[in-house]
Amino acid sequence: MGARKPLTDAERAVYEWQLWVDGFGEEGQEKLKGASVLVSRVGGVGGVVAQQLAAAGVGRLVLAHRGDLRANDLNRQLLMSYDGIGTPRVEQAARRLRQLNPFVEVEAVAENVTEENVADLVGRVDLVMSCAPLFRERLLLNGTAVAQGKPLVDCAMYDLEAQLTTVLPGRTPCLACLYPEEPAAWQREFPVFGAVAGTVGCLGAMEAIKVLAGLGEPLLGKLLVCDLRDMTFRKVAIHRRPGCAVCGEVGKRDNS
Amino acid sequence: MRIAVKYLAQVRQAAGCPAEALDVEGGCSLPELVRRVADRHGEPLRRLLLNAAGGPHDSLLLFVGDEQVRGGAAVELKDGDVVTVLAPMAGG
C-alpha cells in the first residue's frame, strides 16, 4: 500500500463525517489519501465504484474505459450525462469525479484492459477494481494482480443478481480458482437495472476502502451472492483451486 | 431423499424456475445431481451446466449449504441438502 499522507484542513472538512467512523479516523483517511486504485471500466458498476472511492478520498484513481457513450448506457452509467452521447465515456467520468472531489487525482485512460497495457495499468496502483463486462478482461486483470501481489475486488452482476469477492494473492482464491477457463455462455450484453449495478458498485467500493484502510473484515475466501428479487444476501465460502494456473504457486513459501 | 436445488443468474433463466426439490432414490453425488437437473430441463440448461464429456463445467459455481464444492468432486449428497447452482457472471 502507499504511504500515509497528511490531510489538509480543507480535506478534513470534506471527510468530516467519515472521520467519525469507529476504527477509521484520521489514520484511515490518511491511508486512503496515500492509496491508488485502478477501476477497470467506469460503466454501471465501475462508475459507481469510482464515484464512491472519489467521494471517500482515495488519493489517486486510474480509470480505464474505451469508447463513446451511447443512449442505452444511461440507465446505469451514472457518471455520464445525456448531452455526452457520442463522446468518450472515460473523459466524462473523470470530469464528474474531479467536480465531486478536487482533492483526488484522476487519470483517464481511454483504453480497456488488454494484454498490452495490463501490466502497466496494474503497476500504477495499490488495488484493482474488476468491473468489466467480459471475463477475458477480468481474468487478465486477475492474473496480473496476482503476479504483482496486488489486491483485487471483483464486482459482477446479472439481471437482479450480483456477486462480490476480494482477492488477496496467496491468501485467498483468485478468479482463476473460480473460473479456470473463460465461461463460454457469458454474453457481452446482459439484462441490467442501474440500481443493481450501483448496489454492487457501492459494496465493492466499501471492500476497497476496508482493504486500503485496514478496516473491518473484507470478503476474503468468501463470495457475497445477492439476489435483489427477494433481497437475499448470502456469504458462501470459496476455496483455492489446487494447482491453479494463476495463483497455485503464490503464497506457498509463506504457508510452508 | 430430498435435495433442494436453487438456481441463480443465467442458470435460473435457463431452468425456468428459481428453485425446486428433487426426490432421489438411493444415493446421489453432486456431479450426478447436476446431470439430473440438466436432463430434467434440457437445452439450454444442459449447455450451461455440462461440458462435452457430460460432467459439470469447471467454471460452474456449486455450493452445498454455504460451502463451495467443485463440480467434479464426487461428494455424496444427503437428505435435506441445499445445493446452489450459479453460472459465472461478469456484468459490469
Tens-digit pLDDT profile for residues A189-202: 889 999 999 999 99
CB-closest option in A163, A180, A238 to B89 = A163
β-partners of residue A1 are none
Look up residue B35 and give its three cell numbers. 446431470
Q: What is the pLDDT of residues A206-243, one digit of tens each?
A: 999 999 999 999 999 999 999 999 999 999 999 999 99
Classify the complex by whether its ipTM is higher than 0.90, answering yes or no.
Answer: yes
Look up residue A176 and give its three cell numbers. 482463476
Residue at grid coordinates 435483489:
A228
Q: Which residues, including other chains, have CB under 8 Å from residue A223's CB and lie 6 or more apart? A: A163, A164, A165, A178, A235, A236, A238, B61, B68
Residue A185: is its pLDDT beyond 90? Answer: no
* Cis before A242 (ω within 30): no
Report whether A8 contacts A26 (CB < 8 A): no
Top residue of A138, A163, A203 to mutate, by most chain B CBs within 10 Å, is A163
Least Cα separation, residue A236 to chain B (angstroms)? 5
The CA distance from A79 to A44, in Å, is 9
Q: Over pLDDT 90: what percentage of chain A? A: 92
Mean pLDDT of A238-249: 94
Tell me whether B43 touches chain A (CB under 8 Å): no
Q: For residue A256, what pLDDT is reported? A: 37
Q: Which residue spans within chain B are E strands per DSSP?
A: 2-8, 19-23, 61-64, 67-68, 82-86
Report whether A137 contacts A116 (CB < 8 A): no
Residue A55: is its pLDDT beyond 70? Answer: yes
pTM: predicted TM-score of the whole model, two decimal places? 0.96
Residue at grid coordinates 450484453:
A189
Across the interface, do A155 and B92 touch by the CB < 8 Å criterion? yes
Tell me whether B91 touches chain A (CB under 8 Å): yes
